[in-house]
Amino acid sequence: MARIPGVRERGRSGMICTDISIAYFVPMPNNRHIVLRQRPAGPIDPDHFDLLRCRRPEPAPGQAVLAVEWLAMDPYLRSVIAGRHLGAALAPGERMPGQGIARVIEAPADGPVQPGDPVVTDCGWTEWVARPAEQLRRLELPDGVPPQTALGILGMPGLTAWAGLHRVAAIKPGEVVAVSSASGTVGAAVLQLARAHGCITIGITSETKLDYVKEELGADFVLSRTGDLPARLAAGDIPRFDVAFDNTGGEVLAAMLDHLALHARVVLCGLMAQYEQSERPPGPNLGPVIGARASLHGLVVYDHFDALPEFLATALPLYRSGRLRCHETVYQGLDQAPEAFCALMSGASHGRVLVRLKQ
Amino acid sequence: MARIPGVRERGRSGMICTDISIAYFVPMPNNRHIVLRQRPAGPIDPDHFDLLRCRRPEPAPGQAVLAVEWLAMDPYLRSVIAGRHLGAALAPGERMPGQGIARVIEAPADGPVQPGDPVVTDCGWTEWVARPAEQLRRLELPDGVPPQTALGILGMPGLTAWAGLHRVAAIKPGEVVAVSSASGTVGAAVLQLARAHGCITIGITSETKLDYVKEELGADFVLSRTGDLPARLAAGDIPRFDVAFDNTGGEVLAAMLDHLALHARVVLCGLMAQYEQSERPPGPNLGPVIGARASLHGLVVYDHFDALPEFLATALPLYRSGRLRCHETVYQGLDQAPEAFCALMSGASHGRVLVRLKQ
């Protein structure tokens, strides 16, 4: 822990100001961050977080100081909170992690970024952060592209969709591609990238977002996850899925597995249905996977960052022509991050959920 | 329904002999078969079958008449009985299907088989059967190879193992290969073929068969499926699985998925744990599949019959040198087939379960 100048430490567990005459030496907090107050047993709400005042970081040698401008609210963070995300567990009292866009304020003169540069980084839920400058790259924004798209449809969620469709499932024009959590950022990218590749697309989403998925994202078919999905799929007018891109798990995945075409590929990308549960629930019966000679593939976008240029070569022209887009829900101020995140998890928000920090 | 000469029919639902003077024209039953009496709600037992006398088939043009010599007892038949096997459902009163070895008794002179030839065919549980001759091929038995191996380690179960390991999982020397139901015919073939390819092998089986799997089949590690498998795997001395070959489903599969190496391949081959359940149970949580970037693949051996020569080119030399073998449990007589099948399903028998028909 960094020592705060002017405050004497006592014992091992804390520090106190022992002399009233030096009280004015104690620097005022000039930064804020959000920590996990307690791990939720069920659905998360804003009371599970604390907004705390703290000090701006003083850069160690080689570090850059960054002012955070945008924070991305992502479902995987719920899995981190639950201690189930690829081994990463967040303890109560620790700062929330998460991706954002920040502005470089100070940086080593010979480093890869300079003051004023925007960067995408794992800044966590804070206003100011220090990061090793060597790990940062200036975010190059083509003309007319708003920066926050680098956290969304043109960023990690878009790349997730692209890698799942092209690297894992190897979609071909004319194939039927279904996606769950279709109104989310990854889902929106899956639908539009698959459609642009000549696929027939099916979006599964909550009742209130059906119109958005059909009209704005252009899905050929939309299905409500809260209706009787197995009965709806059995009705006969929905073609069987050559590719199922699953962001949800649970009953929606089970219903999709029962509607696979022969040799279908299933991309396992997220488990929205179980992030809020304290125990891992069972999964879908795998009998239909054998019957369809299908395959299921775990997808982690971290393995596919090398595909970013290839992804952007496809995605940028689509974005410019209006064929790759995503609704944005923007909350203002770091203090709104817990509310923004909980709205994402409850399904109350839709599209890309972002927090814009006031500096 | 074929009319039996000499018996007059009355009405639509049956036939009776109306004149005592022609009773001696009624041909005596000279064949027997086994039909499903009723679909079991839980574990199957011999009372769910009926042994019935019937007539030997009279061949239609182009058909061969076969005398059945061996019947293979396979777990997938339980799935057929439950009505869940690739759409094939057996109704009460219908003859049990199943693979066997039969001897050609009569055949069209210009067909591919001649009287005396042995054939492997889907004969069902009967003593005599007629089949289109065009679909039959003489079973070529190399010297010293007993015919029933064509139903086992050198037949469909062996090919299943080979296709799963080489075509689906693409095993490489040095990889760790785990298999459930390791003492079954497919499991035994998986262990021995993987070992012959230079893999480290792990067999999961019931407590009473651990010694067999370790000593006879040569598994590097054996694990009891009835012990606390997750705790045993977490203990640390069992390497993570590059390939998991699952014949079981249920809790064993869930435990295997929690112990996958990065980029593991899982072959989904059978669901022994659920064949006896009237409702499809849930499956394993798929979170670990995402974390391991693993893939799961449904395997149906029917898709891989073209690989039989390639399989035998590997398997026959192994068989001759004693490195590919399987315990046989042989029941005598068609009337023993229900007992043989139920012993297979309950786990009371082990290795290849066969019925030898007395002719």
**β-pairing, A328-332 with A295-298?**
unpaired
pLDDT confidence of residue B89: 80
Q: Which of A254, A283, A298 sits opposite B285 (nearest CB)?
A: A283
A276 band by pLDDT with thresholds 50, 70 and 90: confident
Count the domains in chain A: 2
Q: Considering only alpha carbons, which residue of chain A is nearest residue B295?
A: A297
CA nearest to B63, candidates B125, B10, B107, B109: B107
Q: Are B316 and B331 members of one domain?
A: no
Measured CA to CA, the distance from residue B214 to residue B218 in angstroms comes to 5
CA B345-B84-A292 angle, to 5 degrees, is: 115
Asked, for residue B243, whether it belongs to a domain, the answer is yes
| Interface of chain B toward chain A, CB-CB under 8 angstroms | 84, 86-87, 249, 253-254, 268-271, 274, 280-287, 289-300, 303
Question: Contacts of residue B282 in chain A, CB cutoff 8 Å?
Answer: 254, 281-285
CB-CB under 8 Å, A284 with B298: no
Q: Are B241 and B272 members of one domain?
A: yes
pLDDT confidence of residue A12: 32
Q: Considering only alpha carbons, which residue of chain B is nearest residue A282?
A: B285
**Which residues are CB-neighbours of A28 under 8 A, at least 6 positions away?**
none
pLDDT in tens, A137-174: 999 988 889 999 999 999 999 999 999 999 999 999 99
CB-CB under 8 Å, A287 with B280: yes
CA nearest to B204, candidates A17, B212, B131: B212
Question: Contacts of residue A254 in chain B, CB cutoff 8 Å?
Answer: 282
A231, A242 Cβ separation under 8 angstroms: no
Average pLDDT over residues B276-287: 87
pLDDT at B73 over 70: yes
Measured CA to CA, the distance from residue B229 to residue B235 in angstroms comes to 10
Q: Which of A84, A268, A280 sits opposite B289 (nearest CB)?
A: A268
Asked, for residue B9, whether it belongs to a domain, the answer is no
Average pLDDT over residues B77-105: 89
Q: Which of B86, B285, B289 sits opposite A280 (nearest CB)?
A: B285
CA nearest to B205, candidates B189, B238, B227: B227
Q: Are A162 and A129 members of one domain?
A: no
| Prediction ipTM score | 0.87
CB-CB under 8 Å, B286 with A299: no
Q: Are B102 and B211 members of one domain?
A: no
pLDDT over 70, % of chain A: 91
Mutate to test the interface with B, among A290, A296, A303, A304 (most CBs of B within 10 A): A290
Measured CA to CA, the distance from residue B289 to residue A187 in angstroms comes to 20
B27 band by pLDDT with thresholds 50, 70 and 90: low
Domain housing B236:
156-320
Q: Are A255 and A288 members of one domain?
A: yes
* pTM tops 0.95, yes or no: no
pLDDT confidence of residue A205: 96
Asked, for residue B81, whether it belongs to a domain, the answer is yes
Asked, for residue B103, whether it belongs to a domain, the answer is yes
Rounded mean pLDDT of chain A? 90
CA nearest to A2, candidates A58, A62, A52: A58
Measured CA to CA, the distance from residue B37 to residue B78 in angstroms comes to 14
Measured CA to CA, the distance from residue A217 to residue B111 in angstroms comes to 60
Q: Are B312 and B165 members of one domain?
A: yes
Question: Contacts of residue A299 in chain B, CB cutoff 8 Å?
Answer: 290, 293
Q: Considering only alpha carbons, which residue of chain B is nearest residue A88?
A: B291
A133, A112 Cβ separation under 8 angstroms: yes
Q: Are B315 and B331 members of one domain?
A: no
Compute the residue count for chain A.
Answer: 359
pLDDT confidence of residue A21: 47
**Which residues are CB-neighbours of B260 under 8 A, at least 6 positions away?**
B240, B241, B244, B266, B288, B289, B292, B294
pLDDT confidence of residue A8: 32
Question: Contacts of residue A282 in chain B, CB cutoff 8 Å?
Answer: 254, 281-285
Asked, for residue B14, whether it belongs to a domain, the answer is no
Asked, for residue B195, whether it belongs to a domain, the answer is yes
CB-CB under 8 Å, A290 with B269: yes
Q: Are B343 and B278 members of one domain?
A: no
Mutate to test the interface with B, among A252, A275, A296 (most CBs of B within 10 A): A296
| Interface of chain A toward chain B, CB-CB under 8 angstroms | 84, 86-87, 249, 253-254, 268-271, 274, 280-287, 289-300, 303
B333, B29 Cβ separation under 8 angstroms: no
pLDDT at A9 over 80: no
pLDDT confidence of residue B111: 93
B26 band by pLDDT with thresholds 50, 70 and 90: low
B190, B246 Cβ separation under 8 angstroms: no
Measured CA to CA, the distance from residue B36 to residue A358 in angstroms comes to 74
- CB atoms inside a 10 Å sphere around CB A302: 9
CB-CB under 8 Å, A286 with B268: yes
Q: Considering only alpha carbons, which residue of chain B is nearest residue A279?
A: B285
Per DSSP, B313 falls in state H
Q: Which of A86, A282, A289 sits opposite B282 (nearest CB)?
A: A282
Instruction: Read off the CATH number of the domain in which B210 is found.
Output: 3.40.50.720
Q: Considering only alpha carbons, which residue of chain B is nearest residue A283?
A: B285
pLDDT at B262 over 90: yes
Cα of first residue to Cα of last residue in chain A, in angstroms, is 26
B16 band by pLDDT with thresholds 50, 70 and 90: very low
pLDDT at A356 over 50: yes
pLDDT over 70, % of chain B: 91
Q: Are A214 and A251 members of one domain?
A: yes
Asked, for residue B192, whether it belongs to a domain, the answer is yes
Instruction: Read off the CATH number of the domain in which A46 is found.
Output: 3.90.180.10
Q: What is the CA radius of gyration of chain B?
A: 22
Rounded mean pLDDT of chain B? 90
Residue with tokens 């009337």: B335
Q: Are B93 and B229 members of one domain?
A: no
CA nearest to A244, candidates A225, A220, A269, A210: A269
**Which residues are CB-neighbours of A208 under 8 A, at least 6 positions away?**
none
pLDDT confidence of residue A224: 97
Q: Are A48 and A133 members of one domain?
A: yes
Q: Are A143 and A227 members of one domain?
A: no
Asked, for residue B23, whether it belongs to a domain, the answer is no
CA A30 to chain B, closest CA, distance in angstroms equals: 38
Average pLDDT over residues A231-240: 94
pLDDT confidence of residue A287: 93
